[in-house]
Protein backbone atom coordinates (compact mmCIF):
# COMPACT_ATOMS: atom_id res chain seq x y z
CA UNK A 1 0.00 0.00 0.00
CA UNK A 2 2.90 2.34 0.80
CA UNK A 3 4.35 1.80 -2.67
CA UNK A 4 0.99 2.53 -4.24
CA UNK A 5 0.70 5.81 -2.28
CA UNK A 6 4.19 6.82 -3.39
CA UNK A 7 3.25 5.94 -6.96
CA UNK A 8 0.20 8.17 -6.86
CA UNK A 9 2.13 11.05 -5.31
CA UNK A 10 4.79 10.81 -8.03
CA UNK A 11 2.15 10.64 -10.72
CA UNK A 12 0.29 13.64 -9.35
CA UNK A 13 3.50 15.65 -9.10
CA UNK A 14 4.47 14.80 -12.65
CA UNK A 15 1.01 15.80 -13.87
CA UNK A 16 1.52 19.24 -12.31
CA UNK A 17 4.88 19.79 -13.99
CA UNK A 18 4.99 21.72 -17.26
CA UNK A 19 4.66 19.18 -20.05
CA UNK A 20 6.88 18.67 -23.03
CA UNK A 21 5.54 19.08 -26.51
CA UNK A 22 3.22 16.22 -27.41
CA UNK A 23 3.84 16.55 -31.15
CA UNK A 24 0.07 16.73 -31.63
CA UNK A 25 -0.91 19.80 -33.62
CA UNK A 26 -3.71 21.89 -32.13
CA UNK A 27 -7.04 21.12 -33.70
CA UNK A 28 -9.49 23.95 -33.57
CA UNK A 29 -12.75 22.13 -33.92
CA UNK A 30 -14.15 19.63 -31.47
CA UNK A 31 -15.10 16.34 -33.07
CA UNK A 32 -12.38 15.08 -35.37
CA UNK A 33 -13.01 12.73 -38.27
CA UNK A 34 -12.05 9.10 -37.70
CA UNK A 35 -9.52 9.32 -40.53
CA UNK A 36 -7.88 12.33 -38.88
CA UNK A 37 -7.87 10.55 -35.50
CA UNK A 38 -6.20 7.48 -37.03
CA UNK A 39 -3.50 9.67 -38.55
CA UNK A 40 -2.87 11.52 -35.27
CA UNK A 41 -2.85 8.33 -33.15
CA UNK A 42 -0.31 6.85 -35.57
CA UNK A 43 2.09 9.66 -34.62
CA UNK A 44 2.15 8.65 -30.93
CA UNK A 45 5.31 6.69 -30.08
CA UNK A 46 4.49 3.01 -29.51
CA UNK A 47 0.86 3.23 -30.64
CA UNK A 48 -0.46 0.60 -33.03
CA UNK A 49 -3.75 1.19 -34.83
CA UNK A 50 -5.79 -1.79 -36.04
CA UNK A 51 -6.46 -1.89 -39.75
CA UNK A 52 -9.75 -0.25 -40.68
CA UNK A 53 -10.73 0.80 -37.15
CA UNK A 54 -9.88 3.15 -34.32
CA UNK A 55 -8.63 0.39 -32.02
CA UNK A 56 -5.37 1.77 -30.60
CA UNK A 57 -3.05 -0.42 -28.59
CA UNK A 58 0.25 -0.05 -26.80
CA UNK A 59 2.00 -3.46 -26.86
CA UNK A 60 4.17 -4.82 -24.06
CA UNK A 61 7.31 -2.74 -23.71
CA UNK A 62 5.95 0.44 -25.32
CA UNK A 63 4.06 2.02 -22.42
CA UNK A 64 4.36 -0.36 -19.45
CA UNK A 65 7.16 -2.75 -18.67
CA UNK A 66 6.10 -6.25 -17.61
CA UNK A 67 5.28 -6.17 -13.90
CA UNK A 68 5.30 -2.36 -13.66
CA UNK A 69 2.37 -0.22 -12.60
CA UNK A 70 4.00 3.01 -13.79
CA UNK A 71 4.57 3.96 -17.40
CA UNK A 72 8.09 3.37 -18.67
CA UNK A 73 10.54 6.28 -18.75
CA UNK A 74 9.28 8.59 -21.46
CA UNK A 75 5.78 7.13 -21.08
CA UNK A 76 4.29 10.45 -20.06
CA UNK A 77 4.78 11.93 -23.55
CA UNK A 78 2.56 9.30 -25.24
CA UNK A 79 -0.02 9.72 -22.45
CA UNK A 80 -0.01 13.50 -23.00
CA UNK A 81 -0.63 13.02 -26.71
CA UNK A 82 -3.24 10.36 -26.03
CA UNK A 83 -5.19 12.52 -23.57
CA UNK A 84 -5.05 15.50 -25.95
CA UNK A 85 -6.48 13.46 -28.82
CA UNK A 86 -9.16 11.85 -26.67
CA UNK A 87 -10.28 15.30 -25.48
CA UNK A 88 -10.22 16.83 -28.95
CA UNK A 89 -12.16 13.94 -30.48
CA UNK A 90 -15.34 14.71 -28.57
CA UNK A 91 -15.92 10.93 -28.30
CA UNK A 92 -16.37 8.63 -25.33
CA UNK A 93 -13.61 6.04 -24.95
CA UNK A 94 -13.35 2.48 -23.67
CA UNK A 95 -9.95 1.50 -22.26
CA UNK A 96 -8.79 -2.01 -21.42
CA UNK A 97 -5.79 -2.21 -19.12
CA UNK A 98 -4.12 -5.63 -18.99
CA UNK A 99 -1.41 -7.30 -16.93
CA UNK A 100 0.22 -10.68 -17.45
CA UNK A 101 3.41 -10.80 -15.40
CA UNK A 102 3.69 -14.55 -14.90
CA UNK A 103 3.41 -14.07 -11.13
CA UNK A 104 -0.12 -15.48 -10.89
CA UNK A 105 -3.70 -14.35 -11.40
CA UNK A 106 -4.02 -12.46 -8.11
CA UNK A 107 -0.86 -10.43 -8.73
CA UNK A 108 -1.89 -9.74 -12.33
CA UNK A 109 -5.37 -8.63 -11.23
CA UNK A 110 -3.88 -6.21 -8.71
CA UNK A 111 -1.32 -4.95 -11.22
CA UNK A 112 -3.98 -4.33 -13.87
CA UNK A 113 -6.20 -2.55 -11.30
CA UNK A 114 -3.27 -0.38 -10.18
CA UNK A 115 -2.41 0.53 -13.77
CA UNK A 116 -6.06 1.43 -14.35
CA UNK A 117 -6.07 3.69 -11.27
CA UNK A 118 -2.85 5.38 -12.37
CA UNK A 119 -4.27 6.03 -15.85
CA UNK A 120 -7.59 7.26 -14.46
CA UNK A 121 -5.78 9.71 -12.17
CA UNK A 122 -3.53 10.83 -15.00
CA UNK A 123 -6.41 11.40 -17.42
CA UNK A 124 -8.44 13.21 -14.77
CA UNK A 125 -5.50 15.55 -14.10
CA UNK A 126 -5.09 16.04 -17.86
CA UNK A 127 -8.63 17.42 -17.99
CA UNK A 128 -10.50 14.49 -19.53
CA UNK A 129 -14.14 14.16 -18.61
CA UNK A 130 -14.19 10.84 -16.72
CA UNK A 131 -17.86 10.41 -17.68
CA UNK A 132 -16.60 9.90 -21.25
CA UNK A 133 -14.08 7.29 -20.16
CA UNK A 134 -14.65 3.61 -19.32
CA UNK A 135 -11.62 1.80 -17.91
CA UNK A 136 -11.60 -1.98 -17.42
CA UNK A 137 -8.73 -3.85 -15.74
CA UNK A 138 -8.05 -7.44 -16.81
CA UNK A 139 -5.55 -10.07 -15.70
CA UNK A 140 -4.76 -11.49 -19.12
CA UNK A 141 -2.13 -11.40 -21.82
CA UNK A 142 -2.34 -8.86 -24.59
CA UNK A 143 -1.55 -5.20 -25.02
CA UNK A 144 -1.26 -3.53 -21.59
CA UNK A 145 -3.35 -0.62 -22.90
CA UNK A 146 -5.97 -0.75 -25.59
CA UNK A 147 -8.56 1.91 -26.36
CA UNK A 148 -11.37 2.47 -28.78
CA UNK A 149 -14.24 4.89 -29.10
CA UNK A 150 -17.55 3.86 -27.62
CA UNK A 151 -20.13 3.64 -30.40
Residue of 103, 112, 106 whose CA lies nearest to 142: 112
Query: What domains, with CATH codes, occur in the chain?
Result: 2-17+29-149 (3.30.1330.60)
Does 53 have pLDDT greater than 90?
no
Q: Structure pTM?
A: 0.74
Question: Are the CB atoms for 133 and 120 separated by under 8 Å?
Answer: yes
145 strand-pairing partners: 58, 97
Q: Distance of alpha carbon 146 from its chain centroid, rounded?
A: 8
Rounded to an integer, the average pLDDT of 19-46 is: 67
Supply the pLDDT for residue 31. Answer: 59
Amino acid sequence: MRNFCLLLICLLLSACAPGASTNVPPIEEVGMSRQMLRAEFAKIPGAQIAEGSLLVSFPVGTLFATGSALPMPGGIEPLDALSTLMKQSGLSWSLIVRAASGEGDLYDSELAATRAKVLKTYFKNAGLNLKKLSITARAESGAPLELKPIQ
